Amino acid sequence: MDTRLLLISHASTAAMRAGRFPADDPLDARGLAEAGAACAPLSIPDNAAIFVSPAVCARDTASALGVAATVHEGLADMDYGLWRGRRLADLAVEAPQELAAWTHDPDAAAHGGESFTQLVKRVGQWLDALDNALSEEPRNAQNIVAITHAPVIRAVIVHALGASPAVFPRIEIAPLAMVELRRSRRGWAWWPASQ
């Protein structure tokens, strides 16, 4: 039987809507309302193993979705270093070359934090550990849910499909977006998210 991994991006935060890099922001009333509205059509099997990023916004999203989730450090957001909490528009003026490099080069980390290539490696370790656990004991959870961040979901997709980290800017993940991956004997495959 295939293993279903449902990745859910956390609800929007005020910082996201203001064009700021995340700084462990909680969900505001709007984000909580969005997450609450998303839970109605969401169907999570009773036997699902549910994991969540340690970030407040991800844990708030899990709570608003009405699910009990286990915090997993492997799902932590990208480390934005000195850019945490900074506005993208300000950086476009103050550090245009560094910002341009970061948005186009998966190895760039001018902010002193994590490059996308490093994020793919870190998140890949989480996915590989999950994959190994499933290989050793095929009867382990067949339905897995991870509530996390858009960059982490991008990294999971890149790693699972064996793609180059250079494709990361071409993968769009909106707040509360759902991405489904399924693991079979052939490995991981990207499926249309079913609710």
Cβ atoms of residues 59 and 71 within 8 Å: yes
| CB neighbourhood size of 64 (10 A) | 21
Which residue is it, tokens 């560094």?
98
pLDDT digits (tens, 9 = 90+) for 59-84: 999 999 999 999 999 999 999 999 99
CA 22 to chain centre: 13
pTM: 0.93
Domains by residue range for the chain, with CATH = 3-191 (3.40.50.1240)
| CB neighbourhood size of 47 (10 A) | 8
Q: Residue 118's pLDDT band (boundaries 50, 70, 90)?
A: very high
Q: Residue 177's pLDDT band (boundaries 50, 70, 90)?
A: very high
Measure Cα distances from 72 to 82, 126, 127 in Å: 24, 9, 12
Identify which of 154, 173, 174 has the alpha carbon closest to the alpha carbon of residue 165.
154
